[in-house]
Structure 1
């Protein structure tokens, strides 16, 4: 738990904290007007946020995984939509870090240093069999063409590239396809209608004879092994940031509140012991969540450090531990953060339920994030690991249970 307090982290965080504050200033307005976060995303790109994990010698900022996720927590406190919008970007960067050094890898790093970002296109909806992939990539004399459509395309509206889960038409193998968004064959729709995380740039993305470079199709079996835990950690950092924001808004609201009830405990709300107890409970839950999430990131860092060690048993053990620890953290965060977002209103008054304040966004956003990757199955996996030593589920698919 000491790493976020090190000089290295503080230097890194100091670079972005003024930007986080600027992002926070417009968060309520963006929420109430449903204005997509194109401008904040541009600020982050210009500040080099997308290069956090790229090694310093390659022109990036060289952040460790605990540092990355702590920064995502700070960003989520400002606006919880943004870490999730960048989830696919950081995952693809991580995948490139896990691949051998090559000119192709350097080319991707240069793109990201230039400010380019990656969005996501994995989930298909509709009347599909369990695990069926209908998005197809077909070889052509000059590369590949991609056809299909995806939902939950998080971050895609802001992205220069889309990380697409597809199937090769020629041999049936599952692959990851990187497709450039600046072409007529990529149609991005702002039709995400969830009650939370409404500005993540998610929705439907359609591929109609989209052109793909020859080198931009990667066999899914070569994807970095701790990816499931990595994706979950972005959501965990988002939840930790929401908990921070709830604490911030509870404390500020109580400190500023003038009106009291006739049966309250003090002449000022900020001196009411029962209200202070509510804020103290919220703050303690937020502390517990952030501590848990940050602790779990160290297992992820160990998985990264071992990925090219050649010791397959140690690599497997590290990947299992990273997945189990992320699942434990998910159980904690999915419970405590929505509770904190509800308890917020016991510290404040009925006037704070006004839509102009948008305080309801904390619960809606937390509940939406907590719904990703069902926590009930994560709890089961943890129990099965503890009791029977059975490894957790690393890769899963969704569809009709046929």
Structure 2
């Protein structure tokens, strides 16, 4: 089953239509964010409501049950969702990348499953003494399918998912991508993520104990979108932009509600205090810049998608892919800094009472700091610099592991 020409050329919905469909859900989610954070209340109900409404299929063509939105439209929505609850935006990260990959591969079968409301998680990363690029999870033939054995960590979103994407290595040393049912016999998912931020992403451990996978649930590596790494990074950037937007909203609301002033201050209500107004204005500018960066990279992604659909020559498409990858890195470098500074400066506009645990305003910095710790930004700055100076194109699919000689 493939995507037809009509699917790729159909007019997308207006953004107002998408916002009217999903914004009320975002608002309900936002209303309980601080309480959920305080109680470490996982997000099964909220993600279930989004899935039922079709959020997981925003980019899926209408003929397969989706909204048929463009990449810029989707990432604009994702920023809104992240402003409501940054944990959900990250929990859906692998799902979003999977959809982009299946669109690239013209895989109508899986797109239809997504259009029916299915959500995908991930189980990629291995910890312990595994060399860079090494994979200890195994996959072996079993009848007309395969059996997978191994343990993965940082399996973000899998506790909320219907299917889990995972990587394994066969006896011939080949890396295989498999899509495993989350409730299959032998699958065990633990919420043992203990980071100080993004605590509700369910980024814990997944164990595969002789789990059966049909041959039809293997994904061919060659069918993966070449801009996949850029998409993964753009999701993080959109999440940081959403956090920064929520910082502005929370700061403005808190200032509006304050009456307490200081004798060495400006002697007016906080909302009329020009220094407090300046702080909130600077926060707003940071949020605007972060969202503009997301929009720019999403437009680069859309350009690459449209070039391929139009049958552009391979070099033109490759250049477009590079623009997505480097654009996502450039945005990461800037937005990482903006989000962390904004989520700290928030408290300069308020007082000591803003640090009350019940408000959970510190979650914005904690969440931004944890997201920023993924895919270390210091290396991205060097890579972008090397590209600007020497036109060096790196390997975009990076891996982690134990250093040689350790």
8 Å Cα contact 2:103/2:111 also seen in 1: no
Distance of aligned partners of 1:148 and 1:356 in 2 relative to their CA distance in 1, 3 Å threshold: same
SS in 1 for 2:286: helix
Which of residues 336, 339, 342 in structure 2 aligns to 1:337?
339
Q: TM-score, normalised by structure 2?
A: 0.94
Structure 2: gaps spanning 5 or more residues = 1-11
Q: How does 1:1-400 map to 2 (within 5 A)?
A: 8-100=14-106, 105-169=107-171, 171-307=172-308, 309=311, 311-400=313-402
Pick which of 385-394 and 66-75 moved more: 385-394
SS in 1 for 2:146: strand
Could you report, residue by residue, the CA deviation over 1:155-206 in whole angstroms, capped at 9, with x for unpaired residues?
A: 000001001022123x221121100011231000000011110101210000
Deviation for aligned residue 1:218: 2.0
SS in 1 for 2:215: coil
SS in 2 for 1:380: helix
SS in 1 for 2:359: coil
Deviation for aligned residue 1:219: 3.1
Q: TM-score, normalised by structure 1?
A: 0.95
CA distance in 2, matches of 1:285, 1:90: 25
8 Å Cα contact 1:191/1:203 also seen in 2: yes
Deviation for aligned residue 1:304: 1.8
CA distance in 2, matches of 1:373, 1:307: 28
CA distance in 1, matches of 2:147, 2:37: 37
Could you report, residue by residue, the CA deviation over 1:314-351 in whole angstroms, capped at 9, with x for unpaired residues?
A: 12111111011111100110011100000000001101
SS in 2 for 1:182: coil
SS in 1 for 2:239: helix
8 Å Cα contact 1:320/1:392 also seen in 2: no
Deviation for aligned residue 1:382: 1.0
Q: Which position in structure 2 is the counterpart of 1:3?
A: none
CA distance in 2, matches of 1:324, 1:362: 27
Pick which of 337-346 and 380-389 moved more: 380-389
8 Å Cα contact 1:173/1:219 also seen in 2: no
CA distance in 2, matches of 1:160, 1:217: 16
Structure 1: gaps spanning 5 or more residues = 1-5
Pick which of 216-225 and 13-22 moved more: 216-225
Q: Which position in structure 1 is the counterpart of 2:6?
A: none
Deviation for aligned residue 1:131: 1.1
Q: Which position in structure 1 is the counterpart of 2:8?
A: none
8 Å Cα contact 1:50/1:89 also seen in 2: yes
Runs (4 or more) in structure 1 with deviation over 4 Å come to none
8 Å Cα contact 1:381/1:393 also seen in 2: no
CA distance in 1, matches of 2:268, 2:239: 37
Deviation for aligned residue 1:310: 5.9
CA distance in 2, matches of 1:302, 1:74: 23
8 Å Cα contact 1:20/1:74 also seen in 2: yes
8 Å Cα contact 2:65/2:116 also seen in 1: no
